[in-house]
Amino acid sequence: MSNSPIEKISTVWLGTEGPQIGVQGFGAMGISEFYGDTDEAAARDTLEATVEAGVTLIDTADVYGSGANEEFLAPFLAAHRDEVTLATKFAIERRADDPHYRAVNNSPAYIKKAVEASLRRLGIETIDLYYMHRRDPRTPLAESVGAMAELVQEGKVKYLGLSEVTGAELREAYAVHPIAALQSEWSVFSRDVERSAVPAAAELGVTFVPYSPLGRGFLTGAFADASKELSGGDFRQFQPRFTGDNAKTNAALLEPLHKIAAAHGATTAQIALAWVQQRAQVHGLTVVPIPGTRKRTRLLENTGATRITLSAEELALLEPIAGQVAGDRYPDMSSTSAAREQ
31 contacts 43 by C-beta, under 8 angstroms: yes
Higher pLDDT, 332 or 40: 40
Give the mean model confidence (pLDDT) for residues 174-189: 98
The whole-chain average pLDDT of the chain stands at 91
Q: Is 103 exposed, middle or buried (0-12, 13-18, 19+ CB in 10 A)?
A: exposed
**CB atoms inside a 10 Å sphere around CB 48:** 15
For residue 96, pLDDT over 70 is answered with yes
Helix (H) or strand (E) holding 185: strand 181-185
Specify the pLDDT at position 330: 73
The proportion of the chain whose per-residue pLDDT surpasses 70, expressed as a percent, equals 92
Distance CA 227, CA 136 (A): 32
Task: Give the residue numbers marked as catalytic.
Answer: 64
Q: What confidence category does residue 99 fall into, taking pLDDT thresholds of 50, 70 and 90?
A: confident
Give the mean model confidence (pLDDT) for residues 92-112: 88
Specify the pLDDT at position 235: 57
Q: What confidence category does residue 236 fall into, taking pLDDT thresholds of 50, 70 and 90?
A: low
Distance CA 337, CA 230 (A): 28
Distance CA 290, CA 27 (A): 5
For residue 117, pLDDT over 90 is answered with yes
Identify the DSSP state of 285: S
For 40-54, write each residue's pLDDT tens digit: 899 999 999 999 999
Distance CA 112, CA 225 (A): 44
Q: Who contacts 48 (Cβ-Cβ below 8 Å, separation ≥6)?
A: 1, 76
The b-or-e profile of 86-96 (16+ CB within 10 A means b, else e) is bbbbbbbeeee
For residue 4, pLDDT over 90 is answered with no
For residue 232, pLDDT over 70 is answered with no
Closest among 245, 182, 244, 247 to 215, alpha carbons compared: 247
Q: DSSP letters of 68-113?
A: HHHHHHHHHHHHHGGG-EEEEEE-EEEETTEEEEEEE---HHHHHH
For residue 225, pLDDT over 60 is answered with no
Q: Is 167 exposed, middle or buried (0-12, 13-18, 19+ CB in 10 A)?
A: buried
This prediction has a pTM of 0.93
For residue 165, pLDDT over 60 is answered with yes
The b-or-e profile of 6-42 (16+ CB within 10 A means b, else e) is eeebeebebbeebbebbbbbbbbbbbbbebeebeeee
